[in-house]
Each structure stands twice: as C-alpha cells, then as structure tokens.
A and B are shown apart, each in its own frame.
Chain A
Amino acid sequence: MRLPQFTYQSPDTLEGVLAVLDEYRDQAGVLAGGTDLLVRMKHRLTLPKVLVSLKHLDTLSYIKETSGMLCIGAKTPIIDVIRSERVGQQAPALVQACERIGAVSIQHFRGTMGGNILQDNRCIHYNQSQFHRSGRQPCHKDGGKICYARDEADRCNSTCQSDGATALTALDAQLTLNSTRGERRVALDAFYTTDGIHPFDMQPDELLTQIDIPVVPGAVSAYERLSFRSAIDYPIVCAGVRLVPDPDDSGCIGSARIVVGAMGRSPLFLAQVSRSLAGVTFDDTAALEKAGKDAMNAAAAFAAHNAGAELAYRQAMVEKMVARALTQAAARPSARKAR
C-alpha cells in the first residue's frame, strides 16, 4: 500500500516545528512514531500536505519527577515508559497499559506516549481501506451523513481505543500543549470533546509536548483490558483505576477514579461510581465488585457497534474489567500497608 504524496520537513527545534504548524495548520500532520498516522494516510483517511517530523526533537523524550509531578515528554517511546522503574512505582497502571499497546515490534520502539494519547478515534466501519469504503456511502467521520455503528445516529459514534488515554485519565494526568501563541495546560479528562470526528480539544497549530501525572502519596492504580488477540489488536473494553487512601490512616479508600475506555467517544470517567468507593476498606471485595456492576450500568449506554464484538458482550465485560482492575489495585503492597 503506497502512501499519498506530501512534503516532508524535520525542523531541529521546537520553535521550528511550531512555526511550520502555524503556517500550514490543518494541512500539516505531526509525525512522531507514525504507527497510527501512516496507517490512516495509507487508508486515505487523512491527507496532510506537509508532514512535520519530530525526529530531531530528542528534548521531548524524557521521564522525570519535579515538584510532585511525574513528567513524561510527549515523544518518549512506549518502551521507555514500560522499562521505567519510576513509572512502575508511581503509576503502574500506565506501565500495564503501555505493555498492551500493539506489539513489541509495532509500537514499542517507534510509537510514542504522546502519539498514543492522540490516537484518533476508531470505528470498524471507518478504519478501512479506501477501496472498502468506496463501496458505500461515507459515514459522518468520512464526510457523509450516515452512521454504520448505530442506526439513525445523527453524529459519529467512533470510540477512543487508546490504552494510554484510559490509564492516564484514571491517573488524573494533565497535558501541556505548545504553539507559537504560547503554552497551555489542560486536564486530560477535559481534553476530550466527546465528538467522534474531532475528539481532542486541540487547535491545528498546537503540539502536545508533555504529560504530567500527579504523584499522590499512597495511591495505587491498575489497568485491565480485553481484546480479541492479546497483541496487535485494540481493546474492545478497558478500565483504568486509581485509589487514594484516606489521609487519616483509617485503612479506607479516600478517593477513587474509575475510567472505562473503548466504550464511548472518549475515556469515560465515572464520577458517581468513583465517589461511591470513598470510605470503603481496601479489602471489601463485595464493594469493589459492586462498583464494577455500577460502572457497567453507567457506561453501557455509550457503546455502539464499532469494535467488531457483540455489543452485549462488551457491555457485560465492563463489569469484569473494572472489578478486576479495582481488585488488582487494592491488592498492591502499598494499599495493603494502608489496611
């Protein structure tokens, strides 16, 4: 499969990249690892006139800890996150998510953390070759007025199938976006627009530069996902959770964040279900399992026929993924200490 034509630029500095983005705006595509972008270009789903390569921006590849934040450069390869002891200790859910992205030889050395967050929403009816799509009317995301994922839907029902986004939303991450106009920070759960066609609150001249994860003392996290094959495939359901112990040392959960991914147009932060876990002890298995059931009830309505699996099965599996992630997080040594 040939790539479409484009011109290529690889500026040496961040300012250089931002200047190109400012000049070409939505005609420019940002190339980091390329494992998502180049596939979409081969399918003619996106046709940037200019590709701006981040090849020379090694300054955007780092993992460090500063003033209570774990900071990951947007261009950090997935493998560096997986192998980072610091991330493993502070944010194990992110390591678990990264281990499940694609396969070793697809994403891990070329794919980047920023690219995973900015992975475009997917739908089994949309992410197909040009030839496949030419056989029928275009869908909403393809510029048409039909949705093949949900009957008579007036909008796109693609889903965010990024492993990293779900884990990072559970970890309450924040993003730093740069442009020639300056720098701006946005919380990850506010970054998603819930619009399937334009899933990110991001201007065409902006570049994602850094991901910050707050380091919360005693917090535990976990990520679980379900996919057809254990590698290569995208998740059909996934869940990321973070549990913070009660500061009074009571052995109870102080606050929780439960996020369900690959169901809606963005990772779904289930605020009400999360709140219900406050005051519950870490070893209260019944409460953790009930939270799984509540999460299923809250998330089920968002699902559409867009991932190739039976809808009822995916909905039922939300309960399992959330309950497993919660049980796993609660069983981590630091949570046990809190008991």
Chain B
Amino acid sequence: MKKIHILGIIVIAVAIGVIFTSLQSSASYSDFAEAKANPDTEYHVVGKLNKTAPVLYDPKINADECSFMMYDNKGIEKKVVLHKSVPQDFEKSEQIVLIGKMQGEEFHADEILMKCPSKYNDGKPQV
C-alpha cells in the first residue's frame, strides 16, 4: 500500500467523521413543543415576537436579562428569557431565531438572531 493511499483513507475518514458528527450534534430548527419534550437539548426556535405583550428589560436589576413573549412557527406562545441585553430595534424585528433550551414553561436563550424586514426603512423617493 502506498503512502498516498493511506492519506486518501485518512481524508475520507475525516470527511465521514465530519458529516456524521455534525448530523449527530448540530442543533435543528424547531419549535417550543419539541424543545419542551427534550429540555436538555439545545434548539434553534424560529418565531415572531408578540408585539402586544411588553418586552421586559430593567438593566438596573439585571443588564444581562430580558424577557418577552414569542410565537413559534406553530403559533404556540411562550415566555422567553434571553440572557443578554435587549437587542437594538427589537420591536421592529420581523422574525427571530432563538438558541437555547426549554426550562419548564420558559424558553431560556443565550443567543438571538433577528431578521428585520430588508426594506422596512429603506426609504422611497419622495418629492
């Protein structure tokens, strides 16, 4: 067996390893129900902020925590505790993705991605 073949085998092994472990370990987009069923697993929950409920953030009590109500893509509403300061322009968000785990009835997130409507304030020609 040539050395080049050994290298080839190593390359293929690494490739399979990467694919396999990433399929195993990486989180999936999901909803509150699934997150609740598996409280130890981290999920990315996609949904919308309930803009009628207040976003609670009192930096004097805890600057690294805010909470709000969110509907997931199945329409289920849950309280979310985000362990970060409140994101800028939060109330303008069109869609949010939270990364975290369910704890009882609350979803605890450590990371948030927001999608703002791409043209929400892009402006139009006005005369």
The answer to whether A and B come from one shared complex is: no
